[in-house]
Amino acid sequence: MDVDAALQSQIRNIEATYGKPVDHWFAVIDASGLTKHNQVVAMLKADHGLAHGAAHRVSLLARQRHEAGAAAPSDPADALYAGAKAGLRPLHDALFAEIRALGAFDIAPKKGYLSLLRRKQFAMVQPSTTSRIDVGLILPATTPATGRLESAAKFNPLFTHRVRITAATDLDDEMRGWLATAYALAG
């Protein structure tokens, strides 16, 4: 395993253990006003219960982010929800809250959508119109395409199924089950 892969693994483990993306911890650090590494580490440990190694890594990442001149890492979803599709951003955020609840995963921005990966890809999220987000899933081939769970053959052949999300009510137990299955199979 190379250094970059080990670092990404450590970041995924921190996110899974503490249930928050590193961007959350960057915001905590920024809000604290602390700038010295040892003070940030102590604050993360004392106030937020991070283990020393996790607090140390998050502090280093936050420092590197500032040294690189970035105020904050950009969210890859920002570009997808600019302009006419901006009204879908709250629905996207609600969808991602459901997905993040499953555990750690990586996001690979693509042109027009976000690819979600663990060991392998398990889903994609694409604002398709100004009123709908399409979610592509990789489910077992034996999973029937019925009702809301459509075949993805004509949508995107990299996925087995598609679900169209138009409202927060679409993020129900059935949808959570499909997401959990795809997530588990990719791990």
Query: With b meaning 16 or more CB within 10 Å and e meaning fewer, what string describes 155-181?
Result: beeebbbbbebeeeebbeeebeebbeb
Q: Average pLDDT, stretch 81-97?
A: 91
Residue 145 Cα distances to 49, 136, 159, 165, 170, angstroms: 44, 12, 12, 16, 17
Mean pLDDT estimate for the chain: 88
Q: How confident is the model at residue 74 (pLDDT cuts 50, 70, 90)?
A: low
Phi, then psi, of 81 in degrees rounded to 5:
-110, 30
- pTM score, whole prediction: 0.61
Residue 173 confidence (pLDDT) above 90: yes
Q: What is the pLDDT of residue 170?
A: 95
